[in-house]
A = this chain, B = another copy of it.
Amino acid sequence: MNFSKTTSYSLSILSYMSINEDTNMSAKYLHNKLSIPYPYLRQVLTNLTHKRFIKSTRGRTGGFTFSMPKEKISLADIIDITDGLESLNICILGFNKCPFDKQCSMHEVWEKTRDSMIKVLKETSLADLTK
């Protein structure tokens, strides 16, 4: 499993932005705050804009703001932009199919974990993070 950088960056960005919902933040500003490589950050911001989580303003004082209430954005929603929660539906030891007929030795503990994680991801909104 494990989430891609793009997903991590998306989470960082939106989490950080949710601190000040109504403030317009530029890519440059976010770059300084979050230490994400500037050109990569730009890409991710564009992507988040396309996916309608945030909206952009162009021009000299341009930047990004939320385009929907942060209560309505769950961490799962953000992960679904790129990796998707399905990326958790794999054998943690990396077997596509167990060499035995039964499940691998990590299956039980991993299955429980996965369920807990998905639950948390679905139930946690950006608004919750700042509480």
Contacts and interface: CB of A to CB of B under 8 A. Distances in A.
A2 interface: yes
A5 B90 CA distance: 13
Contacts of A116: 109, 112-113
A99 B129 CA distance: 11
Number of copies of this protein chain within its complex: 2
Contact of A93 (B8, B92, B95): B8
A12 interface: yes
Contacts of A129: 100, 105
A72 to B, nearest CB: 16
Interface residues of A, number: 33
A111 to B, nearest CB: 11
A12 B5 CA distance: 28
Given A75-B105, A105-B75, A95 B8 contact: yes
Given A3-B94, A5-B94, A8-B95, 10 more contacts: A4-B94, A8-B93, A12-B95, A15-B100, A16-B99, A34-B99, A75-B105, A105-B124, A106-B117, A113-B116
